[in-house]
Amino acid sequence: MSSRPTEGARPALPDDGGASERPRSPQPDGAPGRRPRRSPEIARFAALLAVFVASGLAITYLLLPPAPDAPRPTPELRVAGAQVPPKGDVVAGALDLVRRHATGEIKLTLPDGSARALRRNDLGIEINRVRLAEFVREALRPESALRRAHDRAKGGAPLDVPIPLSLDAEKAVARLLDLKVELDVPAIDAYVDLQEKKLKPEKIGYRLDVYGTLARLDAALRAGKDTVEASVEAIPPKLVASQLGHVKFDQVLGYFETRYAQGAKSRDRTYNLRLAASKLDGVVVMPGEVFDFNDVVGPRDEAHGYRVAPVIAQGELVDGLGGGTCQISGTLHGAVFFAGLEIVERYPHSRPSYYIKLGLDATVVYPTINFRFRNPFDFPIVLHETVAGGVVRAEVLGPSRKLMVSYFRRIDEVVPFEEVERPTPRLSEGMRVLAQRGIPGFKTTSSRVVRDGAYAAREKWSDNYPPTQQIVNVGSGPRELESKAEDDNHPEYVVDEYLVITQGPEIRTPGVAAPEPGGGTVESREPGRTGERGWTERAGLTRYRAKEEGAKPDDVPAAEGTPVHAASHETAADPEGKGATDPKAKDEKDRPKDEKDRPKDEKKKKRKKKKKPADG
């Protein structure tokens, strides 16, 4: 009896050990638990198709122009802040406004808040008319780049038309260089006002950058601006007031004096003396600092206020700007010398100077020949130089004076000068006039001894003064020609062969009873063969005899070192700066014996003959 399978039971399959498998029939759609299988090729094709479609859409968006915006009204056009008339020829209206702008002024503002007005015409401005017309048309065309950029940034605001101006660089630079001369100011270090006894603060200097300012002007002109900030470099001072809080200048450490003429002919030279001295007065030199004369006094030219006065050029006196400055430097050198400061750089003149002793002068020429010294002390020093009453006085000030300084000088050799005769038709035939008095050359050996208690330091050097040619003008004109030419009024140069000067706190000047700030000064001299009047003629150095040289010896100035009286400040009575360290000595015993015995009326008559000292 066979059994029936139970309903719902799966019929048993024959076990063939897995050797065969019956294929499965596909399930109908919607059968539970079954998912249809997709081919990989179909999936890749669908992905590529999607990429191509997206790329096409992006390219199409980029290539197609954006939808046009709603048209905007034409904005108001402006040129240099002024409205361009909208009616009529707009280009012509814009050109007219540019012309007005080009003929106006532009203000150049400075760091101190001031301003300088410059006319644009002075800068060589040129208008590019073709370019201006293009700018106006572009501003009126809605689809132009200029118009679109303005509409996006400013909307309905006025449109500033670019101004096509160009500068003439050569003219503009020339105008700015003129302005630079006016505007450039040096930095001023803090200094001591010796009259008010106050410390004056420093001042910042300024220097105009010509090409930097030119670039700013060019940009401002193109932008239609009326104001531009100048390109200026600030120059900081070397010495500020905070460094000088404890400066003491109660005592004189060293001093020196020279004479100058006060007559009307020397007015410009006296002006130069005062101007140069004002640059030095109150200057503070810190410990270890090197003082530079040319740097402090600056250029000696017309732009800095100096006048024409006699100067020494190649051994001859000629007119030049800044004449007299060497007397300021020489007097300062004497004060620095006797204060015991270290002389760093100093040069003698090309000929001896009548206002100062041989060997104590110091010539300066800006910017090549300089005078420099160093402050060797451990405290600041203050310079004080004045010009008044025919006397130039220089002082070195500090807390106290301890040093005693001596100057020794010996003339080693005298070099004869050349005497030449020059014919001139300005003089009648046979007339002879001394145009320039000859001065022999000198070779000297000098030394300085600085004493500090029991200690002393000595330094030695040599100077060489070339001879100055003697020039005699000989007339070649008609005999009836009248001429008012006179001989050179400089006296024969007389100098002591040996000279010793000592200055210090324990020294008392002979004949001076009043207290002397910084101590006194004494001199010891040995005239020798060069220290007496008439020595050049006795030595055979000259053949010319001036008209007044036939007078008695006391008609001419005394030898080096004889004290100069107050009444003779305006004369050249001291050929080698005599009495420069002893201006107050007026004792009767210092006068030559024959001068005491001379009648008063004769002395008064001789005093009227004034002579002009040479410049250094």
pLDDT for the residue numbered 68: 61
**Are 215 and 282 members of one domain?**
no
Average pLDDT, the chain: 82
**Contact of 406 with 523, CB cutoff 8 Å:** no
Q: Which domain holds residue 123?
A: 77-197+204-235
pLDDT for the residue numbered 125: 83
Query: Which amino acid, residue 308?
Result: V
Encode pLDDT of 413-461 as tens digits: 999 999 999 999 999 998 999 999 999 999 999 999 999 999 999 999 9
Identify whether 49 is part of a domain: no
Helices (H), 192-324: 210-223, 267-280, 293-297
**Are 256 and 372 members of one domain?**
yes
Higher pLDDT, 564 or 335: 335
**Contact of 385 with 394, CB cutoff 8 Å:** yes
Higher pLDDT, 263 or 563: 263
**Are 528 and 572 members of one domain?**
yes
Identify whether 153 is part of a domain: yes
Cα–Cα distance measured from residue 476 to residue 562, given in angstroms and rounded to the nearest whole number: 42
**Are 435 and 467 members of one domain?**
yes
**Are 277 and 416 members of one domain?**
yes
Identify whether 477 is part of a domain: yes
**Are 465 and 574 members of one domain?**
yes
Identify whether 616 is part of a domain: no
pLDDT for the residue numbered 547: 61
For range 79-102, the mean pLDDT: 84
Domain boundary, last residue among 216, 235, 254: 235
Structural domains in the chain (count): 2
**Are 404 and 463 members of one domain?**
yes
**Are 145 and 262 members of one domain?**
no
Residue 37: pLDDT band with limits 50, 70, 90: low
H or E element, residue 81? none
**Are 255 and 220 members of one domain?**
no
Residue 120: pLDDT band with limits 50, 70, 90: confident
3-state DSSP of 479-515: CCCCCCCCCCCCCCCCCCCEEEEEEECCCCCCCCCCC
* Across 13-22, 257-266, 267-276, least confident range: 13-22
**Are 330 and 285 members of one domain?**
yes
Place of tokens 């039971």: 9
- Say if residue 18's pLDDT is above 80: no
Cα–Cα distance measured from residue 32 to residue 10, given in angstroms and rounded to the nearest whole number: 19
**Strand 404-415 relative to strand 441-452: parallel, antiparallel, unpaired?**
antiparallel
Q: What is the CA radius of gyration of the chain?
A: 47
**Are 225 and 260 members of one domain?**
no
**Which of helix, strand or coil describes residue 571?**
coil
**Contact of 383 with 328, CB cutoff 8 Å:** no
Tokens matching residue 538 = 């006795």
- Say if residue 600's pLDDT is above 60: no
The string of DSSP codes covering 238-264 is SS-GGGGTT----EEEEEEEEE---SG
C-alpha angle 232-235-237 in degrees, rounded to nearest 5: 155
- Say if residue 119's pLDDT is above 90: no
pLDDT for the residue numbered 53: 84
Residue 598: pLDDT band with limits 50, 70, 90: very low
The secondary structure of residue 203, as a DSSP letter, is B
Q: Which residues, in sequence order, are bridge partners of residue 444?
A: 411, 463
Place of tokens 């012509």: 92
Identify whether 65 is part of a domain: no
Tokens matching residue 501 = 């000067």
Q: What global pTM score does this model have?
A: 0.67
Query: Which amino acid, residue 472?
Result: V
Encode pLDDT of 459-516 as tens digits: 999 999 999 999 999 999 998 888 888 899 889 999 999 999 999 999 999 999 998 9
Encode pLDDT of 122-132 as tens digits: 888 888 888 88
pLDDT for the residue numbered 70: 61
